[in-house]
Amino acid sequence: MKIAVASDDNQTIASHFGKTRGFIIYDVAKTVVTGRHYVENTFTGHARGMSGQGHMADRHGPILRALEGCRAVIAQGMGRRIYEDLRSAGIEAFIVDEIDADRALQLFLSNALMDHPDKGCDHHNEQED
């Protein structure tokens, strides 16, 4: 399985999914990490320079396609719309307090990672990442 963690520095969890510089992609077999690589974020609406009304057109298609095959995505924050879109696409979304990416992965693998969907952002009712 693959797990994606939003990260600006390939070590810590980014504070905002849509504005992250990239994603750590972990390859996991059962509970053993078999691979880890970093992918630059060119997918989210924010990364593509979209905001406000212009952000509405195909706002999440590219990121959902980029994360296809991932079982879960972990970030410290994300918009409610992308949170729901990820879940609708069959990808578990986690908004976490944890800062360390490797620790968050281990918590996920031991079913101890706490999701805090109430900490998602509304962007003042805009439909953003």
State the pLDDT at residue 123.
Answer: 52
110-121: burial string, b at 16+ Cβ within 10 Å, e else? eeebeeeeeebb
- Architecture of the domain delimited by 2-48+60-124: 2-Layer Sandwich (3.30)
Q: Which pLDDT does position 101 carry in this prediction?
A: 98
**What is the rounded CA–CA span in Å between residue 113 and residue 29?**
18
Q: Are strands 32-40 and 22-29 parallel, antiparallel or unpaired?
A: antiparallel
Within 13 Å, how many C-alpha atoms sit on residue 79's CB side?
21
Say yes or no to pLDDT of 60 above 90.
Answer: no
What confidence score (pLDDT) does residue 36 get? 97
Report percent pLDDT > 70 for the chain: 82
